[in-house]
Structure 1
Amino acid sequence: MARPVIAVTGPERGAFGPRALVAAAIRWYGGKPVHIRPSEIDCHPAYDGVVVTGGHDIDPVLYAAEPEVEPRHDKARDALETRIIEEALWRRLPLLGICRGAQLLNVCLGGSLHQELRSRRRHTSNRWTILPLKTLRIQSGTVLAELMGGARCRINSLHNQAIDTVGDGLRVSGVDLDGIVQAIEDPSRGFLVGVQWHPEFLIAMPRHRVLFRALVEAATAAAGSRTVA
Structure 2
Amino acid sequence: MKKILISQRRDKILNRNEERDGMDVKLAAILFELGFLPIPLCSELHSAEGYIEAFNPDAILINSGNDIDEFPQRDRLETRLLDYAKIHNIPVLGICRGTQMMNHYLSGTLSPVTGHVATRQKLIGEWAKDNDYTDVNSYHNFAITNETIAPELEILATTADGVIKAIKHKNLPWLGIMWHPEREPVLPKADKKMLVKHLAGI
TM-score range, shorter chain: 0.7 to 0.9
* SS state at 2:80 partner: helix
- Aligned partner of 1:79 in structure 2 is 76
Q: Show structure 1 runs of 5+ residues with no match.
A: 60-72, 119-124, 222-229
1:51 alignment counterpart = 61
- For 2:181, the equivalent position in structure 1 comes to 199
* 1:164-198 superposed Cα distances (whole Å, 9 cap, x missing partner): 32213211101112011111112532x31101111
CA distance in 2, matches of 1:95, 1:58: 18
Alpha-carbon deviations, 1:3-41, whole Å to 9, x = none? Answer: 111001113425432xx2221222122111101121232
Q: Hey, which of these two has a bigger chunk of helix by percent?
A: 1
TM-score by length of 2: 0.83
Taking a change above 3 Å as real, the CA distance of residues 46 and 145 of structure 1, as seen in their structure-2 partners, is farther
Question: Is 1:117 the equivalent of 2:113?
Answer: yes
Distance 1:24 1:186 in 2: 27
| Bigger strand share | 2
Q: Deviations over 1:199-221 (max 9, x none)?
A: 22235211122221123321xx6
2:37 maps to amino acid: K
Deviations 1:68-124 (A, max 9, x none): xxxxx111111111111121122111010000100010111121111x212xxxxxx
Q: Distance in 2 between matches of 1:35 and 1:91?
A: 20
1:26 aligns with 2:31: yes
Q: Which residue in 2 is equivalent to 1:161?
A: 142
Question: Does structure 2 retain, via aligned residues, the 8 Å contact 1:102–1:195?
Answer: yes
Q: Say if 1:25 and 1:212, in contact at 8 Å, map to a contact too.
A: no
How many residue pairs align between the two structures? Answer: 185
Structure 2, unpaired ranges of 5+: 11-19
> What CA distance in whole angstroms lies between the structure 1 residues aligned with 2:122 and 2:153?
22
User: TM-score if structure 1 supplies the norm length?
Assistant: 0.74
| Matched-pair contact (CA < 8 Å) for 2:6–2:38 | yes
Q: Look up the SS of the partner of 1:188 in the other structure.
A: coil
**Does structure 1 retain, via aligned residues, the 8 Å contact 2:123–2:159?**
yes
> 1:183 is matched with which residue?
166
Give the whole-Å Cα distance in 2 for the aligned partners of 1:215 and 1:200.
16
* Percentage of identical aligned residues: 26
CA RMSD of aligned residues (A): 2.0
- Once residues 179 and 199 of structure 2 are traced to their aligned partners in structure 1, the CA distance between those partners, rounded to angstroms, is 19
Moved beyond 6 Å, runs of 4+: none
Cα pair 2:6 2:63 within 8 Å, conserved: yes
CA distance in 1, matches of 2:9, 2:45: 11
